[in-house]
């Protein structure tokens, strides 16, 4: 089976949803699928240099290949004429295309080319069909849907949602299109070369003898930081002792990132907070392993890859019921789930901080559940079955 994975960018600056292809592709290859990833060299929308990669040629990876194309002329909208020309020439060599992202010109045009060339395709919305997300640039998106995406969705072999909740709340615009619900995967972190908490304590100057609460995600208004910061301030007023670690950045919206830093700087929370910026590799692993509690009170997440990463690292999670794997977290007792308001968040965090044994138990539950349900190997096998069913029917 030969499968195309088409994604506007796989740069780190765009967060986990784009990068999921780098987890799925090698897992599919391990099962014998021939995978080619088509993407652009886009590396941010605010003056960052493009990715330093060879263009227009297959680059062998871990059992699969990536072909990068120049993103031009407007990087913010991720368009590549070269990618579309390649797709038109080679589409009939493949069995199916898995296209990641809506409301992105290169993805939209890729779906159109696939339709023209009779190549069945799956669309993964990345949460963009959630009503809350549709409110952003509402009129522009409404026009985009009517002109382009309604047709693409209707002609798709399936729409790939990453949670049942995402499928329920999404307005698909293609009424007869099949729902395909398969979660994202995570790669279990390798053990840090040094003891997590001790290493981080020495590196960042954080006291070891108090609980550490970590937020590790892209800094974006939808992540609920406007709830989390006052909730943490309230916890301090109530006499709770903890240290807050804010790990993440917002290369797409540096003004928002600075706003969060400025808010913390003038807050009582300032002396109880360490801001690390964007982290990867061993530092990311060490931070997750060292933390006592992970928190993400998002207003909406179609899956919540950061939550799954924390779970597989053995961390109990405190999340809102707008993170669409909240039912799995609740049912597996992998953490605490509340609503998107400060009072709910304060109550959940305080319950966790005051019961370290329960935190530990839920952390173990989280790791067990994530290893069993969010492994890329298991997800690749589910995906292959879906690919086979879709290509047989068409």
Cβ–Cβ under 8 Å, residues 253 and 223: no
E strand segments, the chain:
2-6, 34-40, 58-60, 65-69, 96-100, 121-124, 158-161, 179-181, 212-216, 243-247, 273-277, 293-296, 317-320, 335-338
Most confident of 8-12, 165-169, 360-364: 360-364
Q: Is the pLDDT of residue 93 over 60?
A: yes
Report phi then psi at 294, rounded to 5.
-110, 140
Higher pLDDT, residue 188 or 224: 224
Predicted confidence at residue 173, as pLDDT, reads 63
Q: Tokens standing for 63?
A: 């059992």
367: CB partners within 8 A, 6+ apart: 311, 312, 313, 314
Tokens 């109530």 belong to: 238
pLDDT (tens digit per residue) in 36-78 = 999 999 987 777 888 999 999 999 999 999 999 999 866 667 8
Q: CA 81, 87, 90 angle in degrees (round to 5)? A: 140
pLDDT (tens digit per residue) in 295-337 = 999 999 989 999 999 999 999 999 999 999 999 999 999 999 9
pLDDT (tens digit per residue) in 371-392 = 999 999 989 999 999 999 999 7
Predicted confidence at residue 189, as pLDDT, reads 73
The C-alpha R_g of the chain, in whole angstroms, comes to: 21
Helix axes 342-353, 225-237, angle to 10 degrees: 50
Q: Is the pLDDT of residue 393 over 70?
A: no
Mean pLDDT of 86-104: 96
Q: Is the pLDDT of residue 166 over 90?
A: no
What is the average pLDDT score of the chain? 91
Predicted confidence at residue 76, as pLDDT, reads 65
Predicted confidence at residue 174, as pLDDT, reads 58
Domains and CATH numbers, the chain: 2-185+376-393 (3.40.50.2000), 196-373 (3.40.50.2000)
Q: Please report which confidence band the pLDDT of residue 192 belongs to, taking 50, 70 and 90 as the band edges.
A: low
């Amino acid at each position: 089976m030969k499968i195309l994975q088409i994604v506007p960018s796989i740069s780190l600056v765009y967060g986990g949803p784009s990068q999921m292809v780098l987890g799925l592709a090698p897992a599919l290859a391990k099962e014998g699928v021939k995978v080619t990833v088509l993407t652009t060299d886009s590396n941010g929308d605010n003056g960052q240099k493009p990715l330093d990669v060879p263009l227009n040629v297959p680059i062998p990876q871990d059992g699969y290949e990536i072909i990068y194309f120049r993103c031009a002329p407007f990087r913010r909208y991720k368009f590549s004429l070269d990618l579309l020309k390649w797709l038109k020439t080679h589409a009939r060599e493949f069995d199916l295309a898995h296209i990641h992202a809506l409301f992105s010109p290169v993805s939209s045009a890729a779906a159109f080319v696939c339709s023209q060339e009779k190549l069945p395709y799956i669309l993964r919305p990345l949460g963009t069909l959630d009503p809350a997300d549709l409110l952003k640039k509402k009129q522009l998106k409404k026009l985009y849907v009517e002109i382009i995406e309604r047709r693409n969705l209707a002609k798709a072999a399936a729409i790939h949602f990453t949670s049942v909740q995402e499928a329920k709340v999404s307005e698909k615009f293609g009424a007869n299109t099949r729902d395909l619900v398969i979660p994202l995967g995570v790669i279990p972190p390798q053990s840090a070369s040094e003891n997590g908490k001790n290493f981080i304590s020495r590196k960042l100057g954080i006291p070891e003898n108090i609980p550490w609460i970590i937020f590790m995600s892209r800094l974006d208004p939808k992540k609920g930081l406007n709830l989390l910061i006052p909730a943490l301030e309230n916890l301090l007023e109530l006499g709770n002792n903890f240290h807050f670690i804010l790990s993440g950045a917002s290369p797409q919206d540096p003004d928002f990132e600075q706003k969060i830093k400025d808010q913390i700087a003038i807050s009582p929370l300032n002396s109880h907070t360490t801001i690390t910026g964007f982290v990867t590799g061993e530092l990311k692993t060490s931070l997750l392993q060292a933390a006592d509690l992970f928190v993400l009170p998002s207003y909406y997440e179609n899956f919540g890859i950061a939550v799954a990463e924390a779970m597989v690292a053995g961390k109990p999670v405190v999340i809102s019921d707008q993170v669409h794997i909240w039912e799995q977290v609740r049912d597996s007792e992998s953490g605490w789930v509340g609503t998107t308001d400060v009072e709910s968040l304060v109550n959940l965090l305080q319950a966790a901080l005051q019961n370290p044994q329960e935190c530990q138990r839920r952390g173990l539950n989280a790791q067990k559940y994530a290893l069993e349900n969010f492994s890329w190997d298991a997800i690749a096998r589910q995906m292959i079955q879906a690919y086979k069913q879709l290509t047989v029917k068409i």
